[in-house]
Copies of this chain bind each other. A is one copy, B any other.
Amino acid sequence: MDSLVTAAIAARDCDEINFLHASYGQRTQKRELTCFQTLCGHYRPLRRKVLSWDWLAEIGGSALTDPALEVPANDTKAGVPITYVPFRNASFLCAAVAWAEVIGAGQIYIGAVEEDSSGYPDCREVFFQAFEQTIATGTRNAFSIQIVTPVLHKTKAEIVALGMELNAPFELTWSCYADNEEACGVCASCRLRLKAFASAGFTDPIKYRNLSQEDYK
């Protein structure tokens, strides 16, 4: 959802867009890839690229990539949650930077959300600032590459509202940590999403298995 609205903003603001998808052995890898291809059909980026980080699953340490660890149904504890994938965003950004260097792109859009999010350390503004410094020192000096985080300080409800304004096709996205026909409606990711649509005053166009969206209104 955050990635979609970020893509919608990039499509509005940039002359040229290129889409990068990350597979990393996450539970919902296949479904997310299908969403990506469908969204490419919608936004028609100049280039699209699907890359794999199989080692993220191999390294483990996260319920998102390790089948032995269970995704908690309602993980609202303080601290870094078990779904945190170690240094994942840094790994994705590295590929985006390498690709940007090769095709000559000056901006990398990423749909990270800081405050109203899951408590991942690599979704914080300080992290992205440090990463920009890493790019400035670790790449060719020929041009600069900027990281753009247009939804970083938005609430999930604001993201939904902005996406609606930009006609972002939410029906083509998948947020649930599980991979079933319909979203589970109870994992932390589904709960955040449902709450966001309810707060923004919209109905989520995807189907939920365990509950009526009316429960969130």
Asked whether A150 is an interface residue with its Cβ less than 8 Å from the other chain, the reply is no
Candidates B87, B102, B138; contact of A89 at CB < 8 Å: B138
Closest to A132 in B: B130
- How many Å from the CB of A194 to the closest CB on chain B? 28
- Selected from B60, B95, B121, the residue in CB contact (under 8 A) with A139 is B121
Nearest to A66 among chain B residues (CB) is B102
Chain A 118-154 residues near chain B, CB threshold 8 A: 121-122, 124, 126-127, 129-131, 133-141
Q: For A140, what are the chain B residues with a Cβ–Cβ distance below 8 Å?
A: 80, 84, 121
Interface size class of A (residues with CB under 8 A): 35 or more
CB neighbours (8 Å) of A133 from chain B are 130, 133-134
Any B CB within 8 A of the CB of A170: no
With both chains docked as a complex, state the minimum distance between the C-beta of A199 and any C-beta of chain B, in angstroms: 29
One digit per residue, 1 when the CB lies within 8 angstroms of any chain B CB and 0 when it does not, for chain A 74-117 equals: 00000010001111111100110111011000000000000000
Residues of chain B with a CB closer than 8 A to A136's CB: 130
A80 — which chain B residues lie within 8 A by C-beta?
140
- Check A134 against B127 for contact (C-beta < 8 Å): yes
From residue A152, how far is it (CB to closest CB) to chain B in Å? 14
Query: Shortest beta-carbon distance, A173 to chain B, in Å?
Result: 24
